[in-house]
Amino acid sequence: MINDALKGPLWAARNWSADAGAGSIHDDATAAKLGFRGGTVAGDVHMNQFPPLLVRVFGNAWFERGNLSLNFRNATVDLEKVQVFAEPLESGGQQTRVWMEREDGLLVCSGTAALGDHSASELRRKDLRACHPDELRILNRLHAGLSLGEYDVFAAPDKQFQRYDSHVISDPLPWYRDGSPWGEVLAAPCTVLEFLWAYPMRGLQPYVGVSVGLFGAIEIGFINGPFLLNRPYHLSSAVICVGQSPQTEYVWYETTARNPAGDIVANLRMQSRVMKASSEAYRSEARG
């Protein structure tokens, strides 16, 4: 931790997807088989902890034109305490380094937060080198430019209200429940993901098959924000890059949310990973 870093409170993050059942990385038994200590806390749960700190750094405008871009380094399990940090903003600066640590100092995620220009974010600076489809066994039918669908959605507040009322949103802002400076209730990061990730997953699922996935990196950006609930949005999503690591195959994709006037309200850049050990395409080779 940097001595002059700004920091938020320690928070016991909840694995609210623990009841997703066998086959999910959030399930204790499934995660343990793949070498994790238990069912993992999802990345969007951890992202909820950043906005109060980012409002301190950038002001309320972060919800209008801000960005949070994170690589996830180490998984956590239910009720492990974590804390978010940000380097002080340099004079005239519009981007700073941010990260999260577990209570014992283990790095959970790191990246950048910005206001205005998002082009130099942590994930947009990455050299996304695709591999040849012949090197892949799970995601070999995906390719850059492939559409993951277009969706007209209504951002209903019910699920966010339930999470807020049951106290599972880390470091929640009252704007997630009782209105905001913009009138309607704000979407927490987990709710932004609920729409900009969950709908394109319908397009991804036929390509993924029976396997266990997890988030590798997530970036949320607001262009003409904020992303308010009780509003209609048009979503469009497409693949950016497909590749692999020693333990996973992964796909990068981007989703854009527009309001009825056609203005971009928010976008999502995501790396979704699939564990090789969870797929029959790799297990059959191990048995052979």
Q: What is the pLDDT of residues 5-26, one digit of tens each?
A: 999 999 998 876 656 655 676 5
Please name the residue that has the structure tokens 């430019």. Answer: 145
| 3-state DSSP assignment of residue 72 | strand
Between 286 and 160, the higher pLDDT residue: 160
Between 165 and 32, the higher pLDDT residue: 165
Band of pLDDT at residue 185, cut at 50, 70 and 90 = very high
CA atoms in the 13 A half-sphere facing the CB of 268: 31
pLDDT in tens, 212-249: 788 899 999 999 999 999 999 999 999 999 999 999 99
Spatial distance between the Cα atoms of 270 and 80, rounded to a whole number of angstroms: 24
Q: What angle do CA 131, 134, 140 make, to 5 degrees?
A: 80
pLDDT in tens, 23-55: 676 565 665 566 667 667 878 899 999 999 999
* CA dihedral over 43, 44, 49, 52, signed as positive or negative: positive
pLDDT in tens, 121-164: 999 999 988 888 899 999 999 999 999 999 999 999 999 999 99
Cα–Cα nearest to 43, from 84, 7, 9:
84
Spatial distance between the Cα atoms of 214 and 55, rounded to a whole number of angstroms: 28
Count Cβ atoms below 10 Å from residue 1 Cβ, excluding itself.
10
Band of pLDDT at residue 201, cut at 50, 70 and 90 = confident
| 3-state DSSP assignment of residue 68 | strand
pLDDT value of position 145: 96
Q: Does domain 6-287 have CATH number 3.10.129.10?
A: yes
Single pTM value for the model? 0.92
Provide, rounded to the nearest whole percent, the portion of the chain with pLDDT above 90: 72
CA 36 vs CA 32, 51, 157, 198: distances in Å: 5, 28, 33, 24
Count Cβ atoms below 10 Å from residue 41 Cβ, excluding itself.
25
pLDDT value of position 210: 77
pLDDT value of position 15: 79
> Which residues are CB-neighbours of 63 under 8 A, at least 6 positions away?
51, 55, 182, 186, 222, 225, 226, 227
For residue 59, pLDDT beyond 90: yes
| 3-state DSSP assignment of residue 110 | strand
